[in-house]
Structure 1
Amino acid sequence: MKQNKYDDLGFFEKYSEMPRSIGGLDAAGEWPVLRTMLPSLRDKRVLDLGCGYGWHCKYAREQGAQSVVGVDLSEKMLDYARAHNHDPAIEYRRGAIEDIQFEAEQFDVVISSLALHYVEDFGAVCREIHHLLAAGGSFVLSVEHPIFTALAAQDWHYGPEGERLHWPVDNYQSEGLREARFLDNDVIKYHRTIATYMNALIDAGFRITRLSEPQPTQEALDAYPEMKDETRRPIFLLIAAVKN
């Protein structure tokens, strides 16, 4: 299922008010760790899947990437990226991640940030990324953590005074579609176990080099106090892999 919620004006406006939309990578709680999992980008050909505002595309160029292609299904996202993160060596293309078609070994690095849990067939995407990566190329991705996606409600269990008691986990082994509520909209996501993410990469021909379940840094907690509960359960899963 290929969703394009971000071209809905109301949804896009709500997304634009989120801290990571305003503050960019510095406001993304997982970024300090994700950044360390990236290979050297100097002189690399980089593909960003689900590029959104283009923050990672801009970062790749700042690190000396030879060229960057950013792919996103939302025209509003791409309009913002072109206006605010423009660079002659960055090409922004509209399209679904499931539909990407590039030449074999066209890229050296593929990045995907918080987009692949919206994709139904993760294995097929992994195989296509393996095809378009050069030998030894890197694939670094972040998704919502399976502990976070297991239940569609994606919310805490609250006490009588509204206090957050714990994060409920159920139906973890039951993979598939979840209709979650995000920014006052129903959004389709796909729940997968950690094992499924890892095995899909291995089956596609990748060697996994690093895993992370990051929590906010103290700097992030100081800047964004609302992140304090993100230390109680993982919200992101980060994976780095290389093409064998």
Structure 2
Amino acid sequence: MKQNKYDDPDFFDNYSQMPRSTGGLNAAGEWQVFKALLPELKDKKILDLGCGFGWHCRYAREQHAQSVIGVDLSENMLKRAKESSDDAAIEYLQLAIEDIDFAAEQFDVVISSLAFHYVEDFAAVCKKVNHALKPGGSFVFSAEHPVFTSLASQDWYYDENGNRLHWPVDGYQNEGQRVARFLDNDVIKYHRTLETHINTIIDAGFRITKISEPQPSKEVLEEYPEMKDETRRPIFLLIAAVKN
């Protein structure tokens, strides 16, 4: 299933108003942890899967990456990314993540931010990433945490006064498609357990070096106090690995 909700005008307009869409990487609660997982990017060839507005592509070039390819299925996303910089060393490709077909050992680093939970065949993507990476190359990605994706409702349990009591987790072992509500739209996501994430990466030929379940930093919470409940359960899973 290759969704392209971001080319729906209303959906894209709503997404464009989110804090991480207007404020960039520093408005993303997990960014500081994601950044710490990245290897040295200077003089490296980078691939960004699900690049969106191109924030990570531009960051890589700020770190003096040799070249960056950003892949995204959305024409709207790529149009905004191209409008945000004029850098000949960044190439944007309109392509589904599942359809990537790069040369063997073409890249030094492959990254992806909050895209893989939209991908049905995670194992196939991991194998393609391994193929495209040089030996010892780095694979760093974030995805919605299995605690977050297990129930399609992706919402808190409230009391009669609307107070958030707890985050319900059910159907955790039942992997597969979930139809969640995001920005007032039905969006198809794919739930997989932590075990499946880890073993899929290992089976694709990687050695995992770090796992993180970050919460917003103090600085982010001060600027965006509405994110205070994000400290009560993990929303993101971050994994760093290297090609064997």
TM-score by length of 1: 1.00
Q: Which amino acid aligns with 2:241?
A: A
Q: Deviations over 1:80-128 (max 9, x none)?
A: 0000133110000100000000000000000000000000000000000
Q: Deviations over 1:195-215 (max 9, x none)?
A: 100000000000000000000
Shift of 1:233: 0.2
How many Å separate the matches in 2 of 1:47 and 1:122?
17
How many Å separate the matches in 2 of 1:92 and 1:47?
10
How many Å separate the matches in 2 of 1:55 and 1:99?
22
How many Å separate the matches in 1 of 2:40 and 2:64?
9
State the partner residue of 1:131. 131
State the partner residue of 2:177. 177
Q: Deviations over 1:47-106 (max 9, x none)?
A: 000000000000000001000000000000000000013311000010000000000000
Q: Which amino acid aligns with 2:126?
A: C
Shift of 1:178: 0.1
Task: Please state if 1:66 is matched with 2:66.
Answer: yes
State the partner residue of 1:11. 11
Q: Deviations over 1:172-225 (max 9, x none)?
A: 000000000000000000000001000000000000000000000000000001
How many Å separate the matches in 1 of 2:86 and 2:61?
10
Q: Which amino acid aligns with 1:233?
A: R
Percent of matched pairs sharing the same residue = 71
Q: Which amino acid aligns with 2:143?
A: V
Counterparts of 1:157-236 in structure 2, within 5 Å, are 157-236=157-236
State the partner residue of 1:149. 149
How many Å separate the matches in 1 of 2:34 and 2:233?
18
State the partner residue of 2:239. 239
Are 1:116 and 1:122, in contact at CA under 8 Å, matched by a contact in 2? yes
How many Å separate the matches in 1 of 2:121 and 2:89?
30
State the partner residue of 2:53. 53
State the partner residue of 2:115. 115
SS in 2 for 1:227: helix
Tell me which moved more, 80-89 or 55-64.
80-89
SS in 2 for 1:43: coil
How many Å separate the matches in 2 of 1:186 and 1:160?
26
State the partner residue of 1:97. 97
How many Å separate the matches in 2 of 1:22 and 1:77?
13
How many Å separate the matches in 2 of 1:171 and 1:4?
27
SS in 1 for 2:219: helix
TM-score by length of 2: 1.00
SS in 2 for 1:188: strand
Shift of 1:241: 0.3
| Unaligned segments of structure 2, at least 5 residues | none
How many Å separate the matches in 2 of 1:218 and 1:127?
37
Q: Which runs of 4+ in 1 moved over 3 A?
A: none
Are 1:25 and 1:31, in contact at CA under 8 Å, matched by a contact in 2? yes
SS in 1 for 2:42: coil
> Alignment length, in residue pairs?
244
| Unaligned segments of structure 1, at least 5 residues | none
